[in-house]
A and B are shown apart, each in its own frame.
Chain A
Amino acid sequence: MNTSRPIITMQDVDLEFSPGTGVFDMHMAVNSGTIFGLIGPSGCGKTTTVRLLTGLHAPQRGVVRVLDDTPHRFKTRSRKAIGYVTQQFVLYPNLTVGENLNFAASIYGVGYFSRRKRLREVLDFVELRDAQHRLGNKLSGGMQRRLSLACALVHNPRLLFADEPTAGIDPVLRAKFWEHFRQLRDEGRTLFITTQYIGEAVYCDLVGVMREGRLLHVDTPDNLRRKALGGETIKVGVPPEQSFEAVRRFTSHQAFQEVRRVPRAPGELYLTVEESGAAMPLVFETMRIDPEITVLHAEPYVPPFDDVFIALMEQSANTYSNPT
């Protein structure tokens, strides 16, 4: 993760459309050269946040800075450094892929002579070179999203905002998109991406979790996982008939904060520990005391981010319902 100075900052930002609707108390700082993922359920305020950062909305309170500029009064220089992938496919159905891309290059002022090479590069990047003569209305949903991404990249922006760029496309193509995003990040660009697919958070360098207009957490995926589950997880396999005895043994040891059984797989135990690497020898040591228990396997377990997100949401709900 890059640790250079923030390219995006939000401090105490509020924007209320109607009582209880909008975004509130937004704080964040995104360094350049990172992928920032904003996750949360539909209607939680992700698009509003993107619109605040792109200058489409002005905050009612607080300070928003992007590229050392104020978004709703962006200078042309700042606008030229930004690429924007909107939530919907907004390009022209009666123009071909190449014409749409050419149009996007024109409105960003890309010169006629340097444009052709750049168009080729971008088309190759999103793998649409073969479809460049196809009309916009003849493209599949995935191709349309890729064309949107190409249009946002055609002027070589330093900062890319993508509002749910993977919505409605298949998992294989989503993985491809994230591959593109990581590639762009590796080129030194900053990406601010919103998504409904919680699992995609693992592809980000920094993740913001939103709920009901509030940013609950901003952290790396690993740290969020720890926050959600109270530590790391080790998955241990024992014969099902020995699982009760194994649970008893593990719970009696203070290094294992929590022991869970899964009803579907009675021989599998999930142990929450502070750090999985350090706790792994303890697993075998604890079981050696009782030679009748056989450890079939033991390995660090990375729970899916959906579980992490649900845990974070539950924590958040508990906090709001029981603030003391």
Chain B
Amino acid sequence: MRFQSHIYTTKLIKPMFEPLIRLSSFLTKEIAEVVRQPRLILSLILGPFLVLLLFGVGYSGDRPLLRTAMVLPESGSEIDPDVLRQLVGTNFTLVEEPLAEEQALDMLRNNALDVVQVLPSDIRQRVLAGEQPSIRFYSNSINPLDEQWIQYLAYAEVNEINKAILLQSTGETQAEARAARDEIAATREQLLALESGLAQSDPQELQASVRRLRDTTGLLLASPFLLRDDAEAADLRAELQQLQSDLTTIDESISNGDLDQQQQRIVATRQRLDTVDEQLALFADLPPQAIVSPLQPAYENLRGAPYDLMTFYIPAVLALLVQHIAVALGSLSIVRERLLGTMEYFRVAPVSMFQMVVGKYLAYTLFVAVIAGVLLALMQVLNIPFAGSPGCLPGYCFCSRWPRSVWAF
């Protein structure tokens, strides 16, 4: 009875284990074959480091030094040359004094320059006419990274030049606003005197003051600062225009000798002057940088400082290399079976292709896990940072090679 029971158990259990036995045959065979090739193991561990070394030698993530020359308009630059040189020199390396355009382009074609910048003429006039003149940048590069750097640095440089132009223009307008405020103060005193008793006021002096104020407000109305489209500028423009109209009427009344009939307008004009003065005070007292660049970036890295580019990419490159090794080993193993002729043997044997692929897959996963472990240990020794869990590295290799193995098969 016991004997029969044993037979029954063997018959029942053995078929359950047979697929596992077949699967394990490939697992143990692949491991034994790899272990028997110490040079292969050594190359698989040293290989990634040599690749990284070559990568490090061949790749630089730093900003390239781009030799540049400027081409100025024949009428001369409207921007201060020293300021311009400083702005261009921030992003590019100025190697030549301003050149003629053809000469600069010839130098670019002969690789004596990396970038040529051609500045536009009549910037102020063209802006006031509603144009957006361009600074043209020329390069002769075949390196896509250099191309990207040039475009980015050109964008940053143009922004800085725009800012410098705005600063200069704002400064000039603020000076005009301050002059207008002085005139407003003088006119306001004259108007107050008229209000309190016309006899105490000198009409000639009042008329001169009214005319100066009208001229000054006319200048203000023409300044780029007040040509903006926003509501604040529009309000101030409307106030100044109304003030000009009032001043013209008062001027005419003085000339006609009927100023006493303008008592109400004088009071209204004086009140309008107060309003305009308040608004001009707001504008004239602000630092020009605050007007041109109201927002400034403030950056802080909670870690203190980032890693340099090469150090940061090493773990990712290692993961890719290890994964690539796993894929290559698995695929080569199947190719080797075909070349050796063993596939014919397997096709007659009771082993399925699925068992073969999974068996090999498990073997190389184990092997790659060992390589990943060694590499991780080396990274610790060499003090290379690893963002995320180190367990992700073999996990990534495990997951990413399965479909490729099937494909290779």
Contact = CB atoms under 8 A, between A and B. Distances in A.
Contacts of B28: 102-103, 106
Given A90-B342, A95-B36, 20 more contacts: A76-B350, A79-B350, A82-B348, A86-B341, A92-B33, A92-B342, A95-B32, A103-B25, A106-B24, A106-B28, A106-B29, A107-B346, A107-B349, A107-B350, A108-B22, A109-B17, A109-B350, A110-B21, A111-B17, A112-B21
A55 B345 CA distance: 11
A47 B348 CA distance: 14
Contact of B22 (A55, A86, A99, A106): A106
A84 interface: yes
Contacts of A161: 348
B341 A107 contact: no
B345 A86 contact: yes
A79 B345 contact: no
Interface string A148-172: 0000000000000100000000000
B344 A56 contact: yes
B: contact size bracket: 20 to 34
Nearest to A91: B342
B341 A111 contact: no
Interface string B379-394: 0000000000000000
A54 interface: yes
Interface string B8-50: 0000001001110110111011001100110000000000000
B345 A90 contact: yes
A98 to B, nearest CB: 11
A112 to B, nearest CB: 7
A55 B348 contact: yes
A54 B36 CA distance: 33
A249 B139 CA distance: 112
Nearest to A105: B25
A94 interface: yes
Given A88-B341, A106-B24, A111-B17, A56 B348 contact: yes
B6 interface: no
Interface of B: 14, 17-19, 21-22, 24-26, 28-29, 32-33, 36-37, 340-342, 344-351
A109 B17 CA distance: 8
Nearest to B23: A106
Contacts of A76: 350
Contact of B18 (A86, A92, A99, A109): A109
A100 to B, nearest CB: 9
Contacts of B36: 94-95, 135
A45 B350 CA distance: 25
Contacts, number: 73
A227 interface: no
Given A90-B341, A90-B342, A94-B33, A107 B25 contact: yes
A54 B351 CA distance: 14
B341 A80 contact: no
Majority SS of interface residues in chain B?
A: helix
B24 A94 contact: no
A103 B347 CA distance: 15
A238 to B, nearest CB: 56
Interface residues on A, range: 20 to 34
A91 B346 CA distance: 11
A4 B25 CA distance: 36
Contacts of A108: 22, 349-350
A82 B345 CA distance: 11
A109 B21 contact: yes
A168 to B, nearest CB: 15
A106 B21 contact: yes
Contacts of B26: 107
Contacts of A79: 348-350
Nearest to B340: A90
A95 B21 CA distance: 18
A86 B83 CA distance: 85
Nearest to B20: A109
30 contacts: A54-B348, A55-B348, A56-B344, A56-B348, A79-B349, A80-B350, A84-B345, A84-B349, A86-B344, A90-B341, A90-B342, A92-B29, A92-B340, A92-B342, A94-B36, A94-B37, A95-B29, A95-B33, A102-B28, A103-B25, A103-B29, A106-B25, A107-B22, A107-B25, A107-B350, A108-B349, A111-B14, A111-B17, A111-B21, A161-B348
Contacts of B33: 92, 94-95
A99 B32 contact: yes
A108 B24 CA distance: 12
Contacts of A106: 21-22, 24-25, 28-29
A111 B15 CA distance: 10
Contacts of B24: 106
Interface string A70-89: 00000010011010101010
Nearest to B27: A106
A55 B32 contact: no
A76 B19 CA distance: 11
Nearest to B33: A94
Nearest to A161: B348
B29 A99 contact: yes
Nearest to A87: B341
Nearest to A53: B348
A55 B366 CA distance: 34
A54 B21 CA distance: 23
A76 B90 CA distance: 77
Contacts of A90: 340-342, 344-345
A16 B37 CA distance: 43
